[in-house]
Amino acid sequence: MNKDSEISFDEQEALAYAKRMKEFYEFLATYLLLAAVFLVVFWGEWIVYLIFAGLGVCLLIQGLLAFEVIGFLSPNWERKFAEKRLGRKL
C-alpha cells in the first residue's frame, strides 16, 4: 500500500508544513554560515554584499512561504484550486 494513501489530508498538510519549515531553517543556517565566512574572507568587496543581498531576498521569500504568510503553492492552495476546478468541495 502507498504511504500517501494511509494518511489523511490534514496529516499530509502538517507534514508538508514541517518540511517547509525544515527547509527554511536549513537555508537560514547555510546563509548565516556562508555570510560569516565570506564577510571575514572578502571584507570590503562590494560583490559579496550584492550576492548576499540577493540571497537575503530569496531567504525572505522562502520564510514567508514557510510561515504561510504567502499562501501561494501551499497544500491549502492546491486544495482550493482543485475544488474550484471540480466545482465542489473535496
Q: Rounded to whole angstroms, how far apart are CA atoms 12 and 10?
A: 5
User: Using one digit for the tens of pLDDT, what is the confidence trace for 4-35?
Assistant: 568 887 788 788 888 889 999 999 999 999 88
Q: Look at the pTM and tell me if it is higher than 0.85.
A: no
Rg (CA), the chain: 19
Give the residue, 11 or 71, on which the prediction is more confident. 11
Per-residue buried b or exposed e for 3-19, using 16+ beta carbons within 10 Å of the residue's own CB: eeeeeeeeeebeeebee
